[in-house]
Amino acid sequence: MNEITHTKFGMGTSNLRKEDNAFITGTGCYTDDITDTGILYGYVMRSPAAHARFVINDISQAQEHPGVHAVLTADDVSDIKPLACIVPVTQPDGSQNANRDIPILCKDIVRHLGDAICFIVAESVAIAKDAAELIDLDFEILDAVVDTKMALDEDSIKVYEDGDQNLAFTHFMGQREETDEAFSKADHVVEIEVINNRLISNYMETRAIQAKWDDDKNRFDVTVGSQGVFGIRRNLANIMNLEQDQIHVMTPDVGGGFGTKVFVYREYPLCMIAAKKLGRPVKWTCDRSEHFVSDAHGRDNVATAKMAMDKDGRFLAIEVDLIAAMGAYLHAYGPYIPYLGITMTTGIYDIPAMAVLMRGSYTHTVPTDAYRGAGRPEAAYLIERLVDKCARAIGLSPDEIRRRNLIKPEQLPYTTPAGRMYDTGEYQAHMEMCMDNADWNGFEARNQAAKASNKIRGIGMSTYIEACAFAGSEPAFVELKEDGSFDLKIGTQSNGQGHATAYAQLAAEKLGIDYDQVTLRQGDTDDLENGGGTGGSRSIPLGGVSVVRASEQLAEKLKNLAADELEASSEDIVLEQGNAKIVGTDRLISFADIFKLSTDKTDLKGEGEFKQTEATYPNGTHICEVEIDPSTGITEIVRYTVVDDFGVTVNPLLLAGQVHGGIVQSIGQCLNENVVYDSEGQLLTASFMDYGVPRADNVPGFDFSTRNVPSTTNALGIKGAGEAGTIGATPAVMNAISDALNREYEIFDIDMPVTPAKLWAIINKAS
């Protein structure tokens, strides 16, 4: 027989996170916890203005300040490359957009508040800050533009003097002629404009880096909080004109990433340059105030969309005009984020044609880039708000207009007008299951009860789909250790998702062991040749399959070794409880003894790689119910229900945590979070005193269920779940608020965030 005993630690079991003990007892190890002997500390002197010309008159006093070891300016880093956009877009004329790169240190001009001017290295951060005060600079303050849409006006202030009305790029996607024809024949056309507000990621652990130069090995050792050491190494090598083997990158525990820690930032090459120059390790740790003005921001789109419908409310075509703020420079994936979003323009609906014009605008603000969902939340928000407005315009309920337009199971696989290929799903079925779970039909009774308490109540839904786990691979390596436990190496990077648990579950099931016997090794370029890192919900769909295959390969090797020792057929060997055992007997050999017997250590290693050729498409329905107090403008989310299709679930407990976290971040965007610049480019929301993040009292309990249809593009049927909560939640919350306002005041259009002050003013004006 050829079988593996299934343990309680395998696929589909809700095991507690094995990594959490270290975190909750304060024994985790983050970048800032690591301090080498002889460490020096870096500090970035940043621009106090959003747009200014400057002259550095004198740095000698800062250089001579006790405890200061170096003051770097733009001239000192002129031999290394700026931070460049990695993924440009193709414009309608076939050209690729021109880059506006991020200088490592600015020379002569700054273009956003917090732009980097000097890098001071000293015995302490306090000394470096004191020295920065001694640098003699002259500033000529210039006018600034901060509004995403107004930046493209002909008379707008220019971010670049040689620029074309701050236009960063233009891209068109879709079928222009078919869309125009559909609109010409439409019985109804409904239009909406929405603002997807700018956000700051605010992970718990701010960015940090420690760099040192090793003369003996002729390489840098870099410890940095990241979402993948290999991407960091590759980009640093390019920036610094080095070979990749001249940079050793390590990432320990990471306290949140959300896409924002994927990138190389200025401080990384600066610490490396200073470390080699001074012959001592250099550390830089971002403080929270710096985080607000240095780390890439998220979202910041303005979109107008029109839907063409026939007389029965069936969708014929959609047209979108999207302006995406790029900030002062093109960040690494800046243009790609809205591009990725527009590939999901039609959502989960059978819309035959689309025409999307996407433009990027430069503003005197921090550059934007990936933030949890990376374009897909923006797309889902736009289509789901528009669908609700279409329903109201022609007198249909939100669920009925969806029933008429959702892609049917018999239409799958379905290719969208943007070229996305949806493989599996039962979209109406999960919508109706979510409605039942949310007691959709009982809403009116709850609404009347709310009115009796002088509150207004609303209910809203979103039926979303997203693309993730994009084509590619993530090899995994499993190795038996001397004590009978296993090492698992893979090139992804946990930022709090629970990789050590999920991967261990998959390996444990195939190897017949407790998942505590599997040690995950991530975050070291010396361990592997390459790796794709973590982003786009790829780690478990791609990496998980590779872990299974590596474990299966190693299991077969262990059975063969055991069979030779036990004088049995490998088909009669089963792996369980850390032993290889002949089925039906008490004859066995431990994994530790197999290790001792092996003369060829390759027999103790398994390697697996799954290459996926198409993205996966998680989908689902979110239903939110809100209660608004007109006297205060306070919105309370009183019920929240989700039914998701994630294909196959590895760990239901981890899955629920991912969904809950995504919903909470969306609630923050809807009710609290908003980056606000004044007309001069000063950041008015520059700390937690002014930037509202969601708190426990903003968040309800969640009713979360799955109705899974396995993916056909993934070998285990997994669809990915890391960003889905963020993608489905924002339109559900805003549709619920719009529903409440529409019922009571005939108001539908409202933008995020719906703060109490904003809502109170709207209600009082309507009243």
Pairing between strand 136-141 and 52-58? antiparallel
pLDDT for 349 equals 98
Nearest to 726 by CA among 669, 663, 667, 680: 663
Single out the residue in 583, 612, 641 at which a domain terminates.
612
* Domain-embedded: residue 165: no
Q: What is the pLDDT of residue 164?
A: 76
Residue 689 has pLDDT above 80, yes or no: yes
Same domain? For 589 and 652 the reply is no
Distance separating alpha carbons of residues 364 and 144, to the nearest angstrom: 6
Count: domains in the chain: 3
Average pLDDT over residues 333-337: 97
Task: Kindly state whether residues 503 and 604 are assigned to the same domain.
Answer: yes
The residues near 694 (Cβ < 8 Å, ≥ 6 apart) are 664, 665, 667, 668, 671, 672, 673
Structure tokens, 578: 């850390």
pLDDT for 74 equals: 98
237 and 355 in a single domain? The answer is no
Are 419 and 492 members of one domain?
no
pLDDT digits 0-9 by tens, 187-216: 999 999 999 999 999 999 999 999 999 999
Residues 269 and 131 in one domain: yes
pLDDT value at residue 4: 36
Going by pLDDT thresholds of 50, 70 and 90, the confidence category of residue 1 is very low
| Within-domain flag for 446 | yes
| pLDDT over threshold 70, residue 653 | yes
Task: Return the H-helix or E-strand segment holding 414.
Answer: strand 414-415
Q: Do 527 and 604 belong to one domain?
A: yes
CA torsion through residues 550, 551, 556, 560, sign: positive
User: How confident is the model at residue 5, as a pLDDT?
Assistant: 37
**Does residue 157 form part of some domain?**
no
One-letter amino acid for residue 168 of the chain: A
Q: Is residue 147 part of a domain?
A: no
* The token pair that represents 694 in the structure block: 């969601």
Share of the chain above pLDDT 90, in %: 97
Give the tens place of pLDDT for each residue, 463-515. 999 999 999 999 999 999 999 999 999 999 999 999 999 999 999 999 999 99
Task: Please check the confidence at residue 2 and state whether its pLDDT lies above 70.
Answer: no
Whether residue 215 sits in one domain with residue 78: yes
For 54, list phi and psi in degrees, rounded to 5: -145, 155
The answer as to whether 620 is a domain residue is yes
In this structure, are 437 and 415 located in the same domain? yes
Mean pLDDT of the chain: 96
**What is the structure's pLDDT at 516?**
94
Residue 3 scores a pLDDT above 50: no
Instruction: Give 412: exposed, middle or buried? Use CB within 10 Å, 0-12, 13-18, 19+.
Output: middle
Average pLDDT of the segment spanning 120-130? 98
Looking at the DSSP bridge assignments, the partners of residue 487 are: 479, 519
What would the pLDDT profile of 385-396 be if each residue is shown by its tens digit? 999 999 999 999
| Domain-terminating residue out of 271, 294, 317 | 294
Judge contact between 752 and 674, C-beta under 8 A: yes
What's the mean pLDDT in 101-112? 98
DSSP for 514-582, please give it: -GGGEEEE-SBTTT-S----S-TT-IIIIIIHHHHHHHHHHHHHHHHHHHHHHTS-GGGEEEETTEEEE
pLDDT at 72 over 50: yes
Kindly state whether residue 3 falls inside one of the protein's structural domains.
no
Query: Considering the entire predicted model, what is its pTM?
Result: 0.96
Asked if the model's pLDDT at residue 292 lies above 80, the reply is: yes
User: Residue 52 is part of which domain span?
Assistant: 38-142+204-256+261-294
Q: Which of 577, 612, 647 is the last residue of a domain?
A: 612
The string of pLDDT tens digits covering residues 8-17 is 778 899 999 9
Q: How many helices (H) and strands (E) does the chain have?
A: 18, 30
Is the pLDDT assigned to residue 109 strictly greater than 70?
Answer: yes
Average pLDDT over residues 170-195: 98
Average pLDDT over residues 604-625: 97
Digit-coded pLDDT (tens) for 714-735:
999 999 999 999 999 999 999 9
Which domain CATH number covers 421?
Answer: 3.30.365.10
pLDDT at 93 over 90: yes
Residues 500 and 535 in one domain: yes
Q: Say if residues 296 and 372 touch (Cβ distance below 8 Å).
A: no
596 shares its domain with 639: no
How far is 120 from 109, CA to CA, in rounded Å? 19
Interval 700-718 mean pLDDT: 97
Judgement on whether residues 476 and 463 belong to the same structural domain of the protein: no
Task: DSSP for 230-281, please give it.
Answer: HHHHHHHHHHHT--GGGEEEE--B-S--TTTTSS--THHHHHHHHHHHHTS-
Average pLDDT on 117-121 reads 98
Packing angle between helix 499-511 and helix 545-566, nearest 10 degrees?
30
Looking at the fold, whether 426 and 327 belong to one and the same domain comes out as: yes
